[in-house]
C-alpha cells in the first residue's frame, strides 16, 4: 500500500457544485494532517490543517476518519478560482514532529 | 522576510557540475524542509532541519546530495556531479515548529543538460 493515495482526477465540475476528495494514508500513527492546493507551476499553499475529527473554513470542510485511515476535503459552492491540484499530506511519523508525506494530488477543474 | 525566499529561481547546469541552491526561511521559523518535485510527480521529501537538532536526512536520494543550515536560518542544498535525473523543482519550506503546516518558497527549477 502506498503511503498516501489520492484519486488523480481530473474532477470536472460546474461552478456552484459541491465536490469531495478522499485521501487514504498507511501510517496509523500519523497525528496531524494537512490539505494543500497547488496551482500549475506554482508552489503548494496550505489550505487546511486537521488535527482531530475535522475542520471547517468557509466553503471548505476537512474530515478525518482514523479508523479507516482516510481524510476528506469537501468544497461547497465551487468557484472558478478553486481550479487547482489538491494535495493531501499526513505527517510521516507519530507525534507532532517530522516531515509531511504528500500525495500526488487530485486535480480539480471548475467550469463556468 | 515576508515569505520563504529561494534562489536562484532557475538553474541550468551541465551534467557532472555541482550546484548550490539557497533557501532563506521565514524569520523565526525553527523548522526547515527540502523537497523536490519532478514533472507530473508528487513532492519527494529530502531533508528536515529542526532547531539545533541533527537533521533528518532520510530522504536524500544519494550521497551526491547534502544540505546544511547555518545559524538556524539560511539553508543550502548542494548537489554534486549532477545527473539528468536530478532535473526537478526543488522546494524549500519552513514552519514555526515541527508540528505546524509549512509555508513553501517558490522553488528552484533545476535543469541538467
Residue pLDDT, tens place only, B66-86: 999 988 799 999 999 999 999
Query: What cell was used for B48?
Result: 528536515
Interface of B with A (CB under 8 A): 33, 35, 41-43, 45, 48, 50, 56, 59, 91, 98-99, 101-107
Per-residue confidence (pLDDT) for residue A1, from 0 to 100 = 64
Q: Which residues of B touch A105 (CB under 8 A)?
A: 42
Per-residue confidence (pLDDT) for residue A28, from 0 to 100 = 83
Per-residue confidence (pLDDT) for residue A97, from 0 to 100 = 66
Residue of B nearest to A104 (CA): B42
- How far B93 CA lies from chain A's nearest CA (Å)? 10
- How far B42 CA lies from chain A's nearest CA (Å)? 4
Per-residue confidence (pLDDT) for residue B1, from 0 to 100 = 54
Residue ranges of chain B whose pLDDT lies below 70:
1, 98
Residue ranges of chain A whose pLDDT lies below 50:
none
User: If you search the block for the grid coordinates 499526513, which residue do you land on?
Assistant: A90
* Radius of gyration (C-alpha) of chain A in whole angstroms: 13
CB hemisphere CA count around A62 (13 angstroms): 24
- Burial class of residue A62 (count of CB atoms within 10 Å of its CB; 0-12, 13-18, 19+): buried
The three-class DSSP label of residue B20 is strand
User: If you search the block for the grid coordinates 526543488, which residue do you land on?
Assistant: B90
Residue of A nearest to B47 (CA): A99
User: Reading across the β-sheet that carries A70-75, which strands appear in turn?
Assistant: A4-6, A19-25, A70-75, A60-65, A54-57
Are residues B92 and B45 in contact, defined by beta-carbon separation less than 8 angstroms?
no
Question: What is the distance, to the nearest Å, from the Cα of residue B19 to the centroid of all Cα atoms in its chain?
Answer: 12
Compute the count of residue pairs across chains A and B with CB atoms less than 8 Å apart.
43
Select the residue of A46, A96, A101 nearest B99 (Cβ to Cβ): A96
Test A46 with B43 for CB contact under 8 angstroms.
Answer: no
Per-residue confidence (pLDDT) for residue B15, from 0 to 100 = 98
CB atoms within 10 A of CB B19: 18
Select the residue of A46, A98, A104 nearest B101 (Cβ to Cβ): A46
Amino acid at each position: 500500500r502506498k503511503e498516501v493515495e489520492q484519486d488523480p482526477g481530473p474532477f470536472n465540475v460546474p461552478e456552484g457544485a459541491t465536490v469531495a476528495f478522499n485521501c487514504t494514508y498507511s501510517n496509523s500513527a500519523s497525528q496531524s494532517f494537512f490539505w494543500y492546493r497547488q496551482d500549475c507551476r506554482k508552489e503548494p499553499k496550505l489550505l487546511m490543517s486537521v488535527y482531530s475529527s475535522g475542520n471547517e473554513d468557509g466553503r471548505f470542510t476537512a474530515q478525518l476518519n482514523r479508523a479507516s485511515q482516510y481524510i476528506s476535503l469537501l468544497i461547497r459552492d465551487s468557484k472558478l478560482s478553486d481550479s487547482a491540484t489538491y494535495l493531501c499530506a499526513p505527517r510521516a511519523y507519530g507525534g507532532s514532529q517530522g516531515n509531511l508525506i504528500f500525495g500526488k494530488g487530485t486535480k480539480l477543474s471548475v467550469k463556468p | 522576510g515576508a515569505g520563504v525566499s529561494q534562489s536562484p529561481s532557475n538553474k541550468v547546469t551541465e551534467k557532472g557540475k555541482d550546484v548550490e541552491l539557497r533557501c532563506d526561511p521565514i524569520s523565526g521559523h525553527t523548522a526547515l524542509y527540502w523537497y523536490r518535485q519532478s514533472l507530473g510527480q508528487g513532492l519527494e521529501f529530502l531533508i528536515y532541519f529542526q532547531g539545533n537538532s541533527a537533521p533528518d536526512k532520510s530522504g536524500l536520494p544519494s550521497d551526491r546530495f547534502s544540505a546544511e543550515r547555518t545559524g538556524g536560518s539560511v539553508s543550502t542544498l548542494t548537489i554534486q556531479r549532477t545527473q539528468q535525473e536530478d532535473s526537478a523543482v526543488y522546494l524549500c519550506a519552513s514552519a514555526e515548529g515541527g508540528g505546524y503546516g509549512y509555508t513553501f518558497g517558490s522553488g528552484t527549477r533545476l535543469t541538467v543538460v
